Amino acid sequence: MPNNEPQGFKEISDKEFKIISDYIEKNIGIKISPSKKVMIQSRLFHRLKKLNFTDYKQYIDYVFNSENSDDELVMMINAITTNKTDFFRETDHFRFLEQVVLPEFVSRHKNNVKIWSAGCSSGEEPYTISMVMEEFCSKNPGKITGYKITGTDISTKVLDKACHAVYSLESVAHLDLGLKKKYFMKNTEKKLVMVKENIRSHVNFKRLNFMDGDFSMSEVYDVIFCRNVLIYFNKETQENVIRKFLRYLTPDGYLFLGHSETILSMNLPLKSCAPAVYKRVLKAD
């Protein structure tokens, strides 16, 4: 039990852990090994406390067998997902976007760019992309006339934070002062920053589960970022999800994965261009 858990709480049993981890793997794709039992217990503890339950059996009955199931499933998923992210995380990808991808689009006379940040967590990734687009547009006036970024995630908690676009001062401490001045409003008293409207206005958010049928996205994208999400899935699920992304990626479009994710051994119509960056081609080699 986590240290702050009061007396009287029963630890999660192996059987209860299996019911929850099986549900999550089947419906969300995230594989949770038995070694993560304590982590899951600690992440769900706050739900139990909130609902005045003292053991995980009561919680399992509530989340899977009661009329409150739908709402509590959303809360359970919010509690279990790992949402770590940062502005300009794995920064070489944003350099590649600015120095290789966007100049190539310009040379192809593509002046309207659509980008999908899939598994966007609390918004730092799509807002970073918007800043990169803004920087490129100001250095190359008239070359790109419009851009739009869609951020999706399964967690309503992080999407809520993303929509508010308010972050701690600490979360932008590593950014260049010029960028901070241009793209964030600062509230020193509250130690917070807010992403400025010129960056936010290009970004919209929606909830999407990668395990859902064919995603039903209404657009195709020139670039898809899906970084540090697939690492939680098994190989087969990873490949299925990437195949679904490909339906929404323009020919010659780019797919960015996280640095610890790879498509090696999957026979996909993608060619490698830089570490964890792939370009769609007509057929797999």
Ligand X SMILES: C[S@@+](CC[C@H](N)C(=O)[O-])C[C@H]1O[C@@H](n2cnc3c(N)ncnc32)[C@H](O)[C@@H]1O
Of 145, 129, 116, 109, the residue nearest 219 (C-alpha): 116
Under rule CB under 6 A, residue 76 binds ligand X: no
**Single-letter amino acid, residue 39:** M
Site string for ligand X, 99-128 (x = CB under 6 A): --------------------xxx---x---
Window contacting ligand X (CB under 6 A); options: 170-178, 196-204, 225-233, 272-280: 225-233
Per CB under 6 A, 229 contacts ligand X = yes
Does the footprint of ligand X cover residue 240 (CB under 6 A)? no
Active site (annotated) includes residue 153: yes
Question: What is the CA angle 91-118-278, rounded to 5?
Answer: 60
Set 22, 95, 153, 212: catalytic member: 153
The tokens describing 150, both together, are 């869609």
Q: Do residues 241 and 186 make contact, with C-beta atoms less than 8 angstroms apart? A: no
**209 binds ligand X, rule: CB under 6 A:** yes
Q: Which run of H or E residues covers position 60? A: helix 56-65
89 scored as a contact of ligand X (CB under 6 A): yes
What minimum distance in Å lies between the beta carbon of 198 and ligand X?
Answer: 22
User: Could you tell me if 225 and 117 are in contact, meaning their C-beta atoms sit under 8 angstroms apart?
Assistant: yes
Element (H, E) at 72: helix 69-80
Angle between helices 69-80 and 56-65 (to 10 degrees): 120
Question: What is the per-residue binding string for ligand X in 147-176, x denoting contact by CB under 6 A?
Answer: ------xxx--x------------------
**Which of helix, strand or coil describes residue 117?**
strand
211 part of the interface to ligand X, by CB under 6 A: yes
The correct pick among 54, 58, 82, 204 for binding ligand X (CB under 6 A) is: 82
Catalytic: 43? yes
Residues that bind ligand X (CB under 6 A): 28-30, 81-85, 89, 119-121, 125, 153-155, 158, 208-211, 227-229, 258
